[in-house]
Homo-oligomer: A and B are copies of this chain.
Amino acid sequence: MNIPFTQHVQSLPDTVPFVGPETIERQLGKHFIARIGANESAFGISEQARDAIKLATCERGCSWYADPENHELRTLLADQHQVAMSHVCVDAGIDSLIGLTIRLFIEPGMSVISSLGAYPTVNYHVNGFGGQIHSVPYKDNHEDPVALAKSAHTNNARLVYLANPDNPMGTCLAPEAIQQLLNDLPDNCLLMLDEAYIEFMDKTPSLPIDITDPRLLRFRTFSKAYGMAGMRIGYVLAHQDIISGFNKIRNHFGVNRLAQLAAAASLKDTNFISRIKQEVEIGRRRIYALADSLSLEYVPSATNFVAVNIGNEQQANTLIASLAQKGIFIRKPAIAPQSQYIRVGVGTHEEHELLIKTLPALLGI
């Protein structure tokens, strides 16, 4: 059928950034028992967030549109980060904010630099808006800021994407390396710094949120440490003139009201994140110990998942499929040389026990 899509849409392939675990469940005809493949939290949401959702659900909280200015939440975030509210834009998760960022900055044909095998949703949106992705390889399982900056110059890029901590490898860069990357960017090139996993880092990074630097966008989310991936809420911290741009194109009534209330309640629950950090640290050590016991190399992680080396890509792919058959959902990096790893999420005690029970036999150990 000849649908009169725009020329660009007509050129787009049928593609999805990720296959969801539910799709695999439907293919397998059974439910996963352990869901440790999407970097979702195994430790739930704050009690205060839960209470906020319950209260709103009993009253008219589901029936009212959320405050389009996200005023209370932005007030709390501005206070937490010691910035003015004008530097905060809340939206329905980092995926949505990435899409808006590409739309704000990328004219058709313009270049965006990312790492080879980094977050596929960035590529999805860059392609979706007619931009051009250029990828540089990882270096020792870390994203490579020197190569990113170099590629930005070579390709006259408008945006560079860097996740710190990184997904899918779980590594992180020193604040100085990120500052150096910022300094090394070409003129009119901005850094998209995705900090979805930042709460899991051992130390709060010392890179200050420099709100006067109009080349930096810091993306944050309630999906990971705050356990609210299904709620779709995140935010960007940036120069107020950049935030004004987001306000010109975002869906002002696009944030779920329960998510807005739950996010605000989570921020008020000051002990929550330190408890989650502890749980995740315990979980990471459990995965390290499991890898050690199986003589598998792993990458020390600053996130809620650990990349474990299976030896080669084919073995890793086979293992992922076998784990799925056993009811364990795990994802893995897609691109060599990281593709020899699997990405094991920190799960509950029960999920980890199942992994311990299942993994040796599948590895022939």
- Report the Cα distance A104→B6, complex, angstroms: 6
- Report the Cα distance A132→B242, complex, angstroms: 25
- Bitwise, A3-15 to B at CB < 8 A (1) or not (0) is 1111101001111
* CB <8 Å contact, A3 and B214: yes
- Report the Cα distance A23→B66, complex, angstroms: 11
A241 and B63 contact, Cβ closer than 8 Å, known pairs A231-B256, A248-B13 = no
Is A287's CB within 8 Å of the partner chain B? no
Cβ contacts under 8 Å, A57 to chain B: 45, 50, 53-54, 57
A34-42, A136-144, A319-327: which lies at the B interface?
A: A34-42
Query: Could you tell me the dominant secondary structure of chain A's interface residues?
Result: loop
| A161 → B minimal CB distance (Å) | 16
Residues facing B in A20-79 (CB within 8 A) are: 20, 22-23, 26, 35, 38, 40-45, 49-50, 53-54, 56-58, 60-69, 71
Cβ contacts under 8 Å, A64 to chain B: 35, 38, 40, 229-230
Residues facing B in A217-235 (CB within 8 A) are: 223, 227-232
* CB <8 Å contact, B254 and A95: yes
- Report the Cα distance A297→B96, complex, angstroms: 44
Is A306's CB within 8 Å of the partner chain B? no
Q: For A3, A17, A22, A54, which residue has the most chain B Cβ atoms within 10 angstroms?
A: A3
* CB <8 Å contact, A228 and B63: yes
A92 and B62 contact, Cβ closer than 8 Å, known pairs A105-B5, A128-B248 = no
* CB <8 Å contact, B38 and A65: yes
- Report the Cα distance A265→B158, complex, angstroms: 45
Cβ contacts under 8 Å, A249 to chain B: 9, 12, 128
Cβ contacts under 8 Å, A17 to chain B: 252-253
Is A255's CB within 8 Å of the partner chain B? yes
* CB <8 Å contact, B245 and A3: yes
Range, interface on chain A: 35 or more
Residue from B56, B60, B241 within 8 A of A1 (CB atoms): B241
- Report the Cα distance A257→B223, complex, angstroms: 12
* CB <8 Å contact, B40 and A4: no
| A4 → B minimal CB distance (Å) | 4
What 19 additional pairs, Cβ within 8 angstroms, besides A16-B247, A63-B229?
Answer: A3-B239, A3-B245, A4-B105, A4-B188, A4-B190, A6-B103, A6-B107, A12-B249, A22-B69, A23-B69, A40-B60, A43-B63, A45-B62, A57-B57, A63-B230, A65-B230, A92-B254, A95-B251, A96-B254
* A residues at B contact (CB < 8 Å): 1, 3-7, 9, 12-18, 20, 22-23, 26, 35, 38, 40-45, 49-50, 53-54, 56-58, 60-69, 71, 92-93, 95-96, 99, 103-107, 128, 158, 188, 190, 214, 223, 227-232, 239, 241-242, 244-245, 247-249, 251-259, 262
Report 22 cross-chain contacts, Cβ distance below 8 Å, ordered by A residue.
A3-B242, A4-B158, A4-B190, A5-B245, A6-B103, A9-B248, A16-B68, A18-B253, A20-B67, A20-B252, A35-B64, A45-B57, A45-B63, A53-B62, A53-B258, A57-B57, A61-B230, A63-B229, A65-B230, A66-B230, A99-B251, A232-B253
